[in-house]
Every structure is written in structure tokens, then in C-alpha cells.
Amino acid sequence: MKYWMVLWLLIATVSTAAPRNQGQPGEFDFYVLSLSWSPTFCLTHPGNEQCSGKGYGFVLHGLWPQYARGGWPASCAPQSRLTDEEMDKGAALFPTRALLKHEWAKHGTCSGLEPLEYLDKTDAALGVVAIPQQLQPFNTPPSLPASEIEALFRESNPRMGNHGLAVICKGKVLSEVRVCLTKDLAFAGCPRSVKSQCRGGDIRIPAQR
């Protein structure tokens, strides 16, 4: 009896923390705006068109519907291909068209919005978050503690609370910043499922290419 009780609790915990493979479009609680530090991506993807000497710093990774209890809907039905107009709109936001198509299929379809509406929402979300001057392209220090990166974002975004973003690392290298937003794109406190994932001490900030 105890074995089955423990197994049931384990399954329940995993099911609430893991991403959902499907979901109902529009049924989610908040957004995460994910901003990728492009030079880190380019360390392992030097042949990607994003890494062709454009000098990117933070770039749009995606606008992701999320559940407050943890996890997120993904690849919601019906799946539809983006039109030429939608691709052109998205190409002005995402660093590559391949990333645009991936993000629409995995996350945008779960927003409950039509493609152009989702892209407009993403554009608006980018306008909400100010990138700190110290983290602009060609102006970055070689390393900073993750806590200092968080503080710089809060300083540049006074309406952001103390728990409004997460800094993500790959090893001791800056990878992403994730900002929690309401469905109306106001700053929101991140739940425990969205938390910084960096080691203590300084983390490396690769230079732009």
C-alpha cells in the first residue's frame, strides 16, 4: 500500500512540473518572455545564420504561455503553417525564420491568438522590457554575478518586482533571461517553476560576434 501511495505522489508531482505535450489554446495563466544571449548560442552553433557577424546581444527566443502550477502547454492543435505575410512579420522579431516557425508551432499555437495577433503580442512584450545599458551589444563586461544581472534588469524596469525574472546559465555562461508577464503584458511575479539557474559567483558573458 505504501509503495503505491509513494508512486502516485511521484507521478502527481512530475505531472504538475513537467511541460504538457498538448493543451487548449488560450488556457494558461501567464507569459514568459525569453531573451537569449546570442553570443552564447553562437558558441555551439557557429554556422547558424544568427551568428553571421550581426553583433546581436539579447535576441528574442520566444513568448511562452505558462501554467501557474508549473509546466506549460505545447504544440496545441490545430497546427497551421505561417503565411508569407506572417513570416515577414515574424522575421522582424526573431533572429531567424527557422526559430520563428519553431516557436509558433510549439508556443504560439497555445496562445489562443491568430498568428499575426500572437506576433503583435510578442512585439508588444519586447517593448515592455528594457534591456539594461550595461548589457547592450558591445557594452558588456566579460562577467557578472547572476544576481547583478537581475539587479540591472530591475533597475532598468522599475515596475518589475523582486521576483519578476530568472537568469539562465549553461554551466557558468549566461544563456537567457526570462521575464514573467501577465496575459495583458504587465510585469508579474514568477512562480517557483520559473527560477534562476546559475551557479554562484561570476558568470561569463561572451562577447558579441
The 10s digit of each residue's pLDDT in 109-165 is 999 999 999 999 999 999 999 999 999 988 899 999 999 999 999 999 999 999 999
E-strand spans in 101-172?
143-145, 165-170
Q: Of residues 86, 103, 150, 176, which has the active-site annotation? A: 103
Is the C-alpha dihedral spanning 165, 169, 174, 176 positive or negative? negative
**pTM metric for this prediction:** 0.88
45 is catalytic: no
Query: Does residue 32 contact residue 60 with C-beta atoms inside 8 Å?
Result: no
Query: Does residue 29 contact residue 66 with C-beta atoms inside 8 Å?
Result: yes
Residue 34 grid cell: 525569453
Q: In the chain, helix, strand, coil percent, each to 5?
A: 35, 20, 45
Q: How many CB atoms are located within 10 Å of the residue 94 CB?
A: 22
176 is catalytic: no
Domain ranges within the chain, ordered by starting residue: 2-204
Q: Of residues 61, 86, 150, 176, which has the active-site annotation? A: 61
Residue 141 CB contacts under 8 Å (≥ 6 apart), including other chains: 134, 205
Whether residue 21 is predicted with pLDDT greater than 90 in this model: the reply is no
- Report the pLDDT value the prediction gives residue 133, as an integer from 0 to 100: 95
Q: Topology of 2-204 in CATH?
A: Ribonuclease Rh; Chain A (3.90.730)
49 is catalytic: no
